[in-house]
Amino acid sequence: MISKLAVTHKKIVISGATGVLGESMTRFLAAQGAQVIVLGRTQSKVDTLVAAINDAGHKASGILADVTRKEDLQQAKNKLESDFGHIDVLINAAGGNMKGAVITPDQSLHDVDLEAMRKVIDLNYIGSFLPIQVFLPLLEKSENPGILNISSVSAHLPLTRVMGYSSAKSAIENLTQYLAVEFAQKMKNPIRVNALAPGFFLTEQNRELLTNSDGSLTARGETIIKHTPLGKFGNPEDLHGAIQWLCSNAANFVTGTVVTVDGGFKAFSGV
């Protein structure tokens, strides 16, 4: 008998699957027996990850799409439909910050680049909404469908500098709750919609902000570690347990929630 916690045989699409956190969760889910579908923008990166997972004896295939382009996603949906018929879980892990949407200590609100703001909201918010909208018919064909959005600890209490990113992640949490209710009220077999809010994980996106070229912490990196009761950055593997739970049937009564994995960052007042 397959345990409720298993993700075995689930068909799981992961956007941003070739990113640092995305790749870690994709490899993990494949190793747990899921059929993972790596969604990315760059053919060579998608192919490399798919080959590595298949070479390890697990099941992966790839699909190309920019998550902010509806026509790309429509084509991806058609391919997913002909290859798999349905999907069980969609993980929206494509996302990130952009330089111009940041206010550095020597800048003011006037320095914010509107184009960069639009891009960061487009990538993080629209880039989660659109795959949900386009892949909805495939999820509706699953026996036990689920969506997992990726938020951030900056969604509730915005971090300094990253204004656009914090706003976009906040909007993702609101969308998560909205859709959880919308689907529960209108679908016979409701798609569960949850979000994961990682704390600080050292990745390419934030490495320059948190560490110096010699690997020592920047002042911001030090502030974060001091404010994290567990006293360290997270490792991508620290997200695996929450991902397994939220993608599996063990979370059948869980929808509209945000699971935080942050070493206690959000719980600490600083005193």
Ligand X SMILES: NC(=O)c1ccc[n+]([C@@H]2O[C@H](COP(=O)([O-])OP(=O)(O)OC[C@H]3O[C@@H](n4cnc5c(N)ncnc54)[C@H](O)[C@@H]3O)[C@@H](O)[C@H]2O)c1
Q: Is-catalytic flag, 165?
A: yes
**Which amino acid type is present at position 115?**
E
> How far does Cα 30 stand from its chain's mean position?
16
Asked if 167 touches ligand X (CB under 6 A), the answer is no
Question: Minimal distance in Å, beta carbon 134 to ligand X?
Answer: 13
Q: Which stretch binds ligand X (CB under 6 A): 50-58, 132-140, 197-205, 214-222?
A: 197-205
Query: In degrees to the nearest 10, what's the CA dihedral of 173, 179, 185, 191?
Result: -110
96 contact partners, CB below 8 Å, separation of at least 6: 19, 120, 123, 124, 165, 205
Asked if 164 touches ligand X (CB under 6 A), the answer is no
Contact string 24-63 vs ligand X (x = CB under 6 A): ----------------xx----------------------
C-beta of 162 vs 190, nearer to ligand X = 162
CA distances from 139 to 13, 129, 135, 148, 210 (A): 10, 14, 6, 12, 38
C-beta of 41 vs 118, nearer to ligand X = 41
Q: Which position among 55, 106, 143, 204 is part of the footprint of ligand X (CB under 6 A)?
A: 204
CA dist 118 and 16 (Å) reads 19
Listing DSSP states for 115-181 in one string gives HHHHHHHIIIIIHHHHHHHHHHHHHHTSSS-EEEEE--GGGTSPPSS-HHHHHHHHHHHHHHHHHHH
Burial 51-73 (b: 16+ CB within 10 A, else e): eebeeeebebbbbebbbbeeebb
Q: Which stretch binds ligand X (CB under 6 A): 13-21, 156-164, 219-227, 240-248?
A: 13-21
Q: Which position among 13, 30, 67, 191 is part of the footprint of ligand X (CB under 6 A)?
A: 67
CB atoms inside a 10 Å sphere around CB 116: 16
Q: Which position among 62, 198, 221, 263 is part of the footprint of ligand X (CB under 6 A)?
A: 198
Positive or negative CA dihedral for 173, 152, 32, 72?
positive
Asked if 145 touches ligand X (CB under 6 A), the answer is no
The pair phi, psi for residue 90, each rounded to 5°, is -115, 125
**Residues in binding contact with ligand X, number by CB under 6 A:** 27
Q: Which position among 205, 211, 218, 257 is part of the footprint of ligand X (CB under 6 A)?
A: 205
Q: Which position among 7, 12, 150, 180 is part of the footprint of ligand X (CB under 6 A)?
A: 150
Residue nearest to ligand X (CB): 19
**Which amino acid type is present at position 20?**
V
C-beta of 148 vs 251, nearer to ligand X = 148
Question: Minimal distance in Å, beta carbon 3 to ligand X?
Answer: 27
Asked if 210 touches ligand X (CB under 6 A), the answer is no
> Which active-site residues does the annotation give?
165
Q: Which residues bind ligand X (CB under 6 A)?
A: 15-16, 18-22, 40-41, 66-68, 93-96, 123, 127, 150, 152, 198, 200-201, 203-206
